[in-house]
Amino acid sequence: MINLSRFSLEGKTALITGGSRGIGRATALGFAEAGADIIVSSRKMEDLEKVADEIKSLGRKALPVAAHVGRMENIKALIEVALVQFGKIDILVNNAGTGPMYHTCLEAEERLWDAIFNLNLKGLYFLSQAVARVMKGEGGGKIINVASIDGFTPQENVGIYSISKAGVIMATKSMALELAPYNIRVNAIAPGAIDTKLLNQMWALLPETERKKEKGTFSQGIPMKRIGNPGEIVGAMIYLASDASSYMTGETVLIDGGVILRGL
């Protein structure tokens, strides 16, 4: 018989970066419904406060913290305020990241590389390091990284983004190996096409009629014939954040509507 209480996050505190919209917001609300108190972080406090109000309406504590996790001084401040308010961090979701920027390897400049890697990989790694030090002292925890299907199979003209997400997958494995002795599990989720602001930037400059047409055509290239929504990521997030996945570490879960089955 399945013990559904193993999926509970009751009594846990979760820090979620990129928590003001899309997958981050959906995860924050899902974790709150599962019983966790939430620290949500992104760059704009106004957007974070709205999510924090939604979390509080679910009966959970919420702390919005404006921070840019690609900047080391922001990481330190984020951890400090989280510990002052909650005293611990049981779960970290590294969701903050920048989306694809379209340049070939012949055109890309160093500043593009730095902008993408600072947020997608450097910030993820050093925030995980800081939180893992806290978790080690508390006897364990869970870290969940958000990679991308592009980390498995690159798309044309977004090479730097794809390389950064492949790095997230390897960082997940490396951290999982090193942190396993401290009861800190590290896993990742690799979404495919999810209906977020980052995805919709692909068609942002098109007229509305043409935008809908192009989005529909894009959807037909997915085996499930549709784009996913952020809420469809939450179940896997709760699984990885809970005791239900207690013997799983170093893995990356693809959630892509079947795209990887036929290649991009």
Q: Which residues are catalytic?
A: 161
Report DSSP state, residue 154.
Answer: P
CB 118 within 8 A of CB 167: no
HSE of 25, CA atoms in CB hemisphere, 13 A: 16
Tokens (6 digits) for 245: 């996945």
CA distance 162 to 239: 26
CA trace torsion 177, 129, 46, 58 (10° rounding)? 50
**Residues near 13 by beta carbon (within 8 Å), at least 6 away in sequence:** 36, 37, 38, 39, 82, 86, 88, 89, 90, 91
